[in-house]
Amino acid sequence: MHEAAFGKLGIDADYIVVELEPSAFRKTMRQASQLLLAGFNVTVPYKETVMKYLDHISAEAKAIGAVNTVYRQGKRWVGTNTDMPGFLMTLKRDGAFRPSRKKAVVLGAGGAARALVYGLSLEGIREVLLTDCFPEKAEKIVREMRKIFPKIHYQAVKADIPEVKGAIQKADVIINATPLGLKAKDPLVIPKDWIPQAGSRKKLLMDLIYNPAVTPFLKAAKEKGHRTLNGLGMLLYQGVLAFEQWTKQKAPVAVMRQALLTALKGTGK
């Protein structure tokens, strides 16, 4: 999508993938001032590690505890997190959902979940239940969020307990932030009967996975009559925001979306 955007705007630039072992990554970042780059993305497992090598980190990235986008500001390297605002953009634009005063259930407590909970909290969510098979991970996120947003009701629980089912019944939005659904043989992230029939009150069920476009989680939600949203929009908008930081130009969103769709179609999924 970045290559397509460069082409559309006539920018002489390339977006390349560089895979580095941990020792090579640390060596590269120690020499960051010499890098002939306008900016770069950082992905797992370096989203936290990169922070100590940067000159400045945005408030959002500090709160989330992860950087995924780095850009130049004069001679300084600045780290930010475009996952969180990218998530909010797709939630509002593609999902037509406004978090203010609503209730959310987030399945999974990894780095992505932390960004989601922070974004929902910024938008005035009323309640968040965070669940993970390792509940201590969820508890850590909740402790940190309570310090920043003391008025929001947070709860951290173990996955697959009846309390999660009860919260899903009452929630306005349920988000899968686990990798369950990436593989065809993966079990459903929650039992199907935990998802109530929509009736007159449709919930939004979102999956951060974008390939396949319809995961078992989203398929179950559709069968129950609810609205669904996959992770393609979050991928797109985090890329749009990164592109605009690097180039200081307005990103051609439609061109970038089409490039993503074309690439995904090419995978045969």
What distance in Å separates the CA atoms of residue 216 and residue 52, rounded to the nearest whole number? 39
C-alpha span between 114 and 47 (Å, rounded): 13
At 219, the amino acid letter reads: K
Report whether 205 contacts 221 (CB < 8 A).
Answer: yes
Tokens for 260? 């993503």
- Among 8, 27, 47, 75, the active-site one is 47
Q: For residue 46, what are the contacts with CB-CB under 8 A and spacing of at least 6?
A: 25
47 carries an active-site annotation: yes
Which contiguous run of DSSP H or E holds residue 139? helix 135-148
Side-chain half-sphere of 98: how many Cα atoms within 13 Å?
A: 2
- The catalytic residue positions are 47
